[in-house]
Structure 1
Amino acid sequence: MTTSPVTGDAPAEIPAFPQPRAAACPFDPSPELRGLAQWGPLTRVRSWNDSTPWVVTGHAEQKTLLSDPRLSADFSHPGFPSPVPHTGGKREATDLSFVGMDDPEHARLRRMVSGAFTIKRVEAMRPVVQEMVDDFITRMLAGPKPADLVQALALPLPSLVISEMLGVPYEDHGFFQANSKVLVSAVATPEERGAAHTNLYEYLDQLVGEKLAKPGDDLLSGLARQIAAGELTRREAAAMGVLLLLGGHETTANMITMGTLLLLQHPEQLARVREADDPKVIASAVEELLRYLSVVHLGRRRTALEDIEIADRTIRAGEGVILLGELANRDAAVFPEPDRLDIGRDARHHQAFGVGTHHCLGQPLARMELQVVYPTLLRRVPTLRMATDLADIPFKYDAVIYGVYELPVTW
C-alpha cells in the first residue's frame, strides 16, 4: 500500500485494491472495502498498476453512473481500470465482444442475440432445464459419497444449457471449462489469458464455419445467417460466441454452489426454500441470494469520457471508475439490515446483474436456472449437508468471479 496525500473528505492513505475477504466471513465483502463507505459513496483506491481509479460504493451512485453514457466500457481506453495485468494496445477481435464496447457498436451486436434471452423464450426452456437438473441429481445420488457439488451439478448444468442454446457440442465441456477458468483468474499471466482467449476464439470460429455450411436451430446458426446476410463478420460472430459461452456458465455455476453453501449455513432459510410451494417465494429467495452473494466481486469497470459531477466529487475525463455491486447490495439505505439473509425481503433492486445498457444479457436465463436448481436439490436431497468444515472449503479468492473450487457434500 502506497501513501499519497489526498485532499478533502478522504483517508490520508489511498488503500490498495482489491482487499481480501475475511476468512471468517467468506460470504461478505472485504471489511476494508466496506470501510471505504465512511468516506462517502466515492473514493479512490490504488490498483495493481499504481493507478488510482475511483471506487463507487453507494447503491444510488452506482445506478446513476452505470446509466450514464459518459462512462465507457471500452477496454482499449488508456484509463480503463483493468482488474488484471494485460498487454495493452488496441482491442482484438478475440476479446469479449460487445461487453467491452460502447454504443452504437455495442447495441448493434447485442441486438443480434438478445432475442434468445427474453423472458418468454427462457420460460419455454424451464421444463427442459428441470429435466436436466433432475438427471444430474439422480446421477449424484447414485454415485459415491461425499460428492463434489461443483462437478456433480453446479458446473455441468449451466454448461449443458448454454451449449444447447449455442449449438456447442457438450462433449467439449472439459475444453471450454478449462479455458474459461483461466480467463476468469485474477492471477493468470497476460500470456496465459491470451492463449485461453485464442483457444476459445479458434474453437468458436470453427463452429461458426460449420454452421455456415450447415445451419441448425441454435444461436451460432443464427449468427451464421447474419454473416451470410452481410450484417455480421465471422470474427464478430466467433467473439460473440466466446462471450456467450463464457458468460453462460461461469457466473451461474458459482451462484449454484455459493447459494447452496450459504443456505446450508442458514438452516431456517434453507427450510423455507425447500418447503415453499409458491413460485413467488422461490423467486424472492433467488433475488435475495443474488443480492447477498454478488459473485462479480471485482467490480464493473468504466472510464470517464467527460468530467462527471456526482456526490460532491468530480470524476475527470480519462479517469477509471470501479463500481462495486457487492457493496451496493449491502447498502443499508436500500436494504435494511443488509448483512442478514432473509429470503422474504424485497431484494429486487439489487445490482447483481448491473444496470443500464450493459446490464447482463443472460439474467432471465440465470434466474430461471437458479429457481429450478435450489428447490429441486433441497427437496430431492432433504438431508443434504456439508462433508467438510467451512474453513476447509477452497474459495475463489484469486478469481474475477467469486465462488468455490469444490463443495464436498453428503446426505
Structure 2
Amino acid sequence: MSTQTQDQTQEQVVGRYTDALMNTFGPPKLALVRGEGSTVWDADGKAYLDLLGGIAVNSLGHAHPAMMKAVTEQLGTLGHISNFFTSGPQVELAETLLALLGGDAGPAQGKVFLANSGTEANEGAFKLTRRTGRTHVVVAEGGFHGRTMGALALTSKAAYREPFEPLPGDVTFVPYGDAEALAAAVTDETAAICLEPIQGEAGVVVAPDGYLAAARSIADEHGTLLWFDEVQCGVGRTGLWFEHQRSGVVPDVVTLAKGLGGGYPIGAVVGLGRAADLLQPGNHGTTFGGNPVACAAALAVLTTIESDGLLEHVTGLGEHLRAGLAAEPRVTEVRGHGLLIGLDLAEPVAAAVVDAAQAAGYIVNMPTPTRIRLAPPLVLTRAEADAFLADWPGILDAAWAAAKAGG
C-alpha cells in the first residue's frame, strides 16, 4: 500500500486529500512539499514566499538548522516520557519563559503548565480561572481563543460558536478597546478578564494606548485575574518577547503557543503571582504536554531569536513593510507591530488579493473580506520583503480586475 506523493501533481494530491480527510477546512489551496527559510514549494515545483508562516507559527522559517539539530538530537536521546516524569528540556523551558517574562527585573515569580497548542493552553487557563471560586469571565468581541468547547466559549464569532451551543457559560463579551465597557462588565464575581494584546484573527487589531493598563486597574479593583492571550502575538512576533510588555502591564496569566515551537506543536500557560498555584494535582493534565522534543524545539526558537538579534530585526523590518504597504492608495489602513501586520483594503476584495498573491508567488491571509494579514517568519529578509513590496501594486491590480470581472 503506497502513500507516496512526491511524484504526484498538485491536483492529484489535493484529490487524495478530499477523499481521505474530513472537510473541516475546505479544499486546500496548495499541496506543499518542501520549505527552506521563508520559501515553500508546491507539488508542481512552484516557489512561494511564505508571508503567513503557518499562521504566525514558523518563527525560524522552514528547515532552520537550529530547529533541525535540536529536534533530531532530542529525539535520538529521549522522545516521550509522560508527565509521571520530567526532563531537562521541560524544566529549562519553564525557567526560560519565566525569565523572559520578568525581563530586567529578574525571573517572574510564577509557574508554567505546558500543553500542545493554543486552544489547549487557553482551555487550561480557563480551568485555572475556575479555581478562584468564581465562574464569570469577561472577554472582548473580535477575540479568538480556540476551537475546543471551553476556548470556544471565549470566542465571540457567532459562526464558530452557534453550531456547538450550549457552551460553558457565564461569559460576557465587551467591545475591544473600550475601557468603560470593560469596567461596567467586571464585578466582584468575575474570575478573569481575558484579552489579546493584539487581536490576530480579527485582522491585527492593536490595543489602544492605555487599554491594557485600564484592564489591570479594573482587575485589581475586583480581585479579578488579568489573562493575556499571546498565542499569536507573543514570542518575538511583534519585536518584543511578549506584546503586553510594550504597555508595562504585568498580567496574572499568559497563554502561549504558535511561534513558541517554531512549527513543533507546543503551548504554555504561565501563572504569575497568586495564579501560579491555582492548579493542583488532579485539576488538569496532558499526555503529550511538556514532551522533551517539543521543549527542545521551543528552546531552540528562543535561543535563536536572542542569539541572532531577531527582536531588533523584526522591529525594523516590520516598520519597513508597513510603510511600503501604506504607500499604496488602495490600502486604507495598516496596523500592527513587528511582523504581525494587518491592512484594510478600499474594497472587499481580500479573497481576490489572496488568489492574486498566490499566482504571483506569495502566501498571504484574509481574516475578513476587507483585510489582509501578514505573519511571516521572523527570519524574513529585507530583500524578500522588498520583492513583495515591488510586486504588491501588481497583485492589487490583478485582484481589482478579478473582482470587477466576477461581480
TM-score normalised by the shorter chain: which range applies? under 0.3
Relative to its length, the structure with more strand (as a share) is 2
Relative to its length, the structure with more helix (as a share) is 1
TM-score, L = length of structure 1: 0.24
By relative contact order (CA 8 Å, sep 6+), the higher-ranking structure is: 1
